[in-house]
Structure 1
């Protein structure tokens, strides 16, 4: 699924260790037949704050992204996070619309590795 999200020749913003730790997650959405159709992940950004590092759906507008994000929100709350952040391109209309519909709002980065001039930061409280 990581290859589907990144395509060929791209570098990931996260390592396997980031998302397979006790404070990170990688989820795969599958059809009833077991076919992978989407994925998502988060990693620790700061104390109490997780960063979404990927959300992918093979079939846009089919509810897969929503299901993946809902699962990530639940897992983040169980892992002890109170906030999910996403760093995205300021020009990504579809991404902005998706996250705004899902309750994300403009936020400030709390991590030293994120630069305010690089993208748009959106955040959401999770419970």
Structure 2
């Protein structure tokens, strides 16, 4: 697998490519954690102000990853449905960079997310990208199998 240029752009979460990638993510999560994660994401919500859904494309124009954020509370966006096929390196990082930059552009000061502790690949990925463990929030309060992570976006607005 070589590092190849990845293009990330906004897309419709209800689109065929988006739905296919999110189904792959749901299948992988179900196998790994026992939950597909489908219940905590509403594709139609992505059309609302303050939301963002993106697809990542390889150099051949094939969709190879996705991700989203939605408003959580004032100044805080919540990352959802980040997924990257393992066929191309750098997809997850490209998706996350785009989401962070877009969230900062829209005025969010922080970006939070939840993943399962058993999903060590995801936990390590987010920690490597500057996320730190935060107190559980929302539906994740009291869930021992969940880990909540957050990152301050202020530096993305400078320069």
TM category (shorter chain) comes to 0.7 to 0.9
Whether the 8 Å CA contact 1:55–1:65 is kept in 2: the answer is yes
2:137 is the counterpart of 1:117 = no
Whether the 8 Å CA contact 2:64–2:88 is kept in 1: the answer is no
Whether the 8 Å CA contact 1:42–1:52 is kept in 2: the answer is yes
C-alpha displacement of 1:18: 2.5
Q: 4+ residue runs of structure 1 moved beyond 4 angstroms?
A: none
Paired with 2:88 and 2:118, the residues of 1 have a C-alpha distance of 19
Whether the 8 Å CA contact 1:85–1:122 is kept in 2: the answer is yes
Which sits farther off after the overlay, 98-107 or 24-33?
24-33
SS in 2 for 1:103: coil
TM-score (norm 1): 0.87
Alignment: residue pair count: 126
Paired with 1:19 and 1:5, the residues of 2 have a C-alpha distance of 18
SS in 2 for 1:121: strand
2:51 is the counterpart of 1:3 = no
SS in 1 for 2:102: helix
Paired with 1:46 and 1:114, the residues of 2 have a C-alpha distance of 15
Stretches of structure 1 lacking an aligned partner (at least 5 in a row): none
What is the aligned partner in structure 2 of residue 89 from structure 1? 116
C-alpha distance 30-61 of structure 1, shift in aligned 2 (>3 A) = closer
2:129 is the counterpart of 1:99 = no
Paired with 1:4 and 1:20, the residues of 2 have a C-alpha distance of 22
Which of the two has higher C-alpha Rg? 2
Stretches of structure 2 lacking an aligned partner (at least 5 in a row): 1-20, 31-35, 155-159
